[in-house]
Structure 1
Amino acid sequence: MNTDLTTLIELPALPLAHRVRAPQTGPIEGSPCLLLLHGVGANELGLVNMARLLDPRLTVILVRSPLAFGPMQFGFFQVNFTASGPVINAAQAEQARQGLTTFISGLPGAYGIDGRRVWIAGFSQGGILSASVGLTRPDLVRGFGILSGRILPEIGPLVAPPDQLADLHAFLSHGEHDEKLPIDFARSAHALLLEKGVQLTYQEFPAGHELNAAMLDAFNQWLSGQLSR
């Protein structure tokens, strides 16, 4: 099986197509694992360069979201950006959350990764789904990263109780000049995560709706620290 990110992999045991970067320091078997999720209207290829720069101890899995919106344009759920804020297809978002939990549960059997050391992170809509998975299924992941995303209020009833979130770690970064998801979304997520007792690293950057070098470096530093815990 090709694990250098050049091949899109589809396995009967896993519900989502994906690409894999094997660890550079040892075998996939028993390795820690990071899932990276792309934004709406994009695809996993946009994260290949990022994946190659991340901590070499990791197996990195780039997930292709399941809904096709155009040629090589995918997403986890439909969203309309209105004057009063983004309006989502909540049923699709919930189906995506469940699909990701099934995908994560199947990774140890499919690849032999260490199921006790899994993180999930993503950009924009990918970060939204990462938070949805982390906050509702902390038994599946050690932590999650929201890179220029938000937390859906729709998951509120599904969020795990504080005692189950106490060991969960989160990384939250956002551009102060984000025109698509304004900084207030990040600040609201910051307050919610602190209220829930999640162990949080939070950073704002003088940037728009993007993943620039400074943001990627901050995330990688956080992730490397997680691996060393």
Structure 2
Amino acid sequence: MTAIPSNLIPAIERETGTNPTHTILWMHGLGADGSDFVPFVEELELPPALHIRFLFPHAPTRPVSINRGMVMRAWYDFDIVDTGIGLHENVASLHASQRAIEALIANEKQRGVKPENIVLGGFSQGGAMALQTGLRYPEKLAGIIALSSYLPVPRMLAVEAHPANFSTPVFMAHGEIDHSIPMMFAEASRKQLRESGYIVEWHEYRMAHAVCQEEIADISKWLRRVLA
């Protein structure tokens, strides 16, 4: 396993076999770090024949408006809009993190993993980054996973989306009693994506802003299909 170049954002690496042919690049949620989802590697129980490199990058630290300017790990700054029915993202920080994730993908290509064998995924704000980056990436990816999340800056999707990932499968899941990112935000994102022609597999679970075992099992089934 080679070290990640110092010019890229730091990340935790786990490999399920020698000479990985696939990569799952997973972004954590607001205030967490890359270690948050490392247990995923074993919990997904993916076939040992699949040699996968899991990358869990750490978001940079920045003040976050929704938390009254508190400095924490965050992929981008955001806040609730005045009407209280939507989110407002700082586009400059959103694009900066998008470029950082694209740089990690470029590094995976240099290590021999084809983009078509790379999955972008994440939880909460990390899931938003997976959608933001994956739908705009100029080469076909294997899939996109967004858990307890939503599509950021939805008004820009039609302008910025790249046709290379128009047919890329998307896995979205949400908790029915999520008060951190209410279900209606995710449902609106699902509706927009489907109306735009994207293939979205949708799941709901009786949980709050969290991940449950049933969800992990569903992700495992989905990954077995898209990585086959």
**Length-normalised TM-score, structure 1:** 0.84
In 2: Cα distance, 1:46 partner to 1:124 partner: 12
Identity of aligned residues (%): 21
Question: Is 1:80 matched with 2:72?
Answer: no
Tell me by how many angstroms 1:222 deviates: 0.7
In 2: Cα distance, 1:128 partner to 1:81 partner: 15
Query: Aligned to 2:73, what secondary structure does the other structure show?
Result: strand
Tell me by how many angstroms 1:175 deviates: 0.7
In 1: Cα distance, 2:113 partner to 2:212 partner: 29
User: 2:40 corresponds to which residue?
Assistant: 50
Once superposed, which parts of structure 1, at least 4 consecutive aligned residues long, lie more than 6 Å away? none
**Length-normalised TM-score, structure 2:** 0.84
In 2: Cα distance, 1:138 partner to 1:144 partner: 14
Amino acid at match of 1:128: A
Tell me by how many angstroms 1:166 deviates: 4.0
Amino acid at match of 1:94: H
In 1: Cα distance, 2:167 partner to 2:62 partner: 35
TM-aligned CA distance change 1:62 to 1:50, over 3 Å: same
User: 1:131 corresponds to which residue?
Assistant: 131
Note the alpha carbon deviations across 1:29-51, whole angstroms, 9 max, x for none: xx111101100111011111112
Note the alpha carbon deviations across 1:79-105, whole angstroms, 9 max, x for none: 234634333222101111122112211
Question: Is 1:211 matched with 2:200?
Answer: no
In 2: Cα distance, 1:96 partner to 1:154 partner: 19
User: 2:67 corresponds to which residue?
Assistant: none
Which residue, 11, 22, 41 being the options, matches 1:18? Answer: 11
Contact map agreement 2:140 2:168 (CA 8 A) in 1: no
User: 1:173 corresponds to which residue?
Assistant: 173
Query: Aligned to 2:141, what secondary structure does the other structure show?
Result: coil
Task: Note the residue ranges of structure 1 that are not aligned, 5 or more in a row.
Answer: 3-8
Question: RMSD between aligned alpha carbons?
Answer: 2.4
Note the alpha carbon deviations across 1:135-169, whole angstroms, 9 max, x for none: 111515221001000001254221124xx444311
Note the alpha carbon deviations across 1:203-222, whole angstroms, 9 max, x for none: 11111111121112211211
TM-aligned CA distance change 1:79 to 1:166, over 3 Å: closer
TM-aligned CA distance change 1:155 to 1:219, over 3 Å: farther
Question: Is 1:63 matched with 2:57?
Answer: yes
In 1: Cα distance, 2:227 partner to 2:115 partner: 14
Contact map agreement 1:149 1:181 (CA 8 A) in 2: yes
Which residue, 158, 161, 164 being the options, matches 2:160? Answer: 158
Tell me by how many angstroms 1:74 deviates: 1.3
Which residue, 19, 27, 34 being the options, matches 2:19? Answer: 27
In 2: Cα distance, 1:69 partner to 1:51 partner: 30
Tell me by how many angstroms 1:68 deviates: 5.0
Tell me by how many angstroms 1:18 deviates: 0.6
Contact map agreement 2:142 2:227 (CA 8 A) in 1: no
In 2: Cα distance, 1:209 partner to 1:102 partner: 29
Which residue, 4, 9, 30 being the options, matches 1:40? Answer: 30
Contact map agreement 1:104 1:140 (CA 8 A) in 2: no
